């Protein structure tokens, strides 16, 4: 389905369609508009597609944005991505943050706001590069002493 392909794929497809449109005598801009119109807004894409899109679209910038994707549990393979400098997990249904969060040694910003997290693991204290953590709108009673 073309409606969920990354931009490079769409641009590549547009290029081929533009060349074909030029051969057929059609307006290439009209062909492009039809293709782009099929791509739904980010929030209306299925959660898995948004999740993968977040990984794909921002890996070079060190940003992993999984906000609003409906994640219930954070998979450990995400925590092995050492290149992450900014991790956004806001507006999900997370009830725990795995202890492996301490493995993200390059992490500078962590946004876990608007979830259902009652407590943070002590390994959050191992995030020595972190400059900002947003834990607002969770069910936290207190922060771990390692964050002091």
Domain ranges of the chain: 1-39, 45-147
> Which sign, positive or negative, has the C-alpha torsion 5, 8, 10, 16?
negative
pLDDT band, very low/low/confident/very high, at 32 (cuts 50, 70, 90): very low
Above 90 in pLDDT, residue 115? Answer: yes
Above 70 in pLDDT, residue 2? Answer: no
Radius of gyration of the chain (CA): 20
The residue-averaged pLDDT of 87-114 equals: 92
Angle separating helix axes 7-24 and 28-37, nearest 10 degrees: 150
Above 70 in pLDDT, residue 27? Answer: no
Above 80 in pLDDT, residue 92? Answer: yes
Higher model confidence: residue 118 or residue 54?
118
Alpha-carbon gap, residue 35 to 100, rounded angstroms? 41
The number of beta carbons lying within 10 Å of the beta carbon of residue 39 is 15
Report the pLDDT value the prediction gives residue 138, as an integer from 0 to 100. Answer: 94
**CATH placement of domain 45-147:** 3.80.10.10
Cβ neighbours of residue 134 under 8 Å, at least 6 residues apart?
90, 110, 111, 112, 113
pLDDT (tens digit per residue) in 42-76:
555 566 665 665 655 555 568 888 899 888 988 77
Alpha-carbon gap, residue 139 to 117, rounded angstroms? 5
């Amino acid at each position: 389905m073309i409606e969920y392909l990354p931009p490079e794929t769409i641009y590549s497809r547009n290029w081929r369609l533009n060349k074909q449109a030029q051969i057929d005598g059609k307006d290439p801009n009209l062909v492009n508009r039809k293709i782009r119109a099929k791509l739904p807004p980010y929030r209306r894409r299925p959660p898995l597609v948004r999740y993968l899109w977040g990984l794909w679209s921002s890996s070079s910038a060190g940003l992993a944005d999984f906000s609003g994707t409906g994640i219930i549990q954070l998979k450990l393979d995400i925590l092995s991505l050492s290149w992450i400098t900014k991790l956004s997990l806001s507006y999900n249904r997370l009830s725990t943050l795995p202890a492996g969060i301490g493995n993200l040694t390059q992490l500078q910003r962590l946004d876990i706001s608007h979830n259902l997290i009652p407590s943070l693991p002590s390994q959050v204290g191992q995030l020595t590069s972190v400059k900002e953590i947003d834990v607002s709108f969770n069910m936290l009673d207190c922060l771990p002493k390692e964050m002091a």
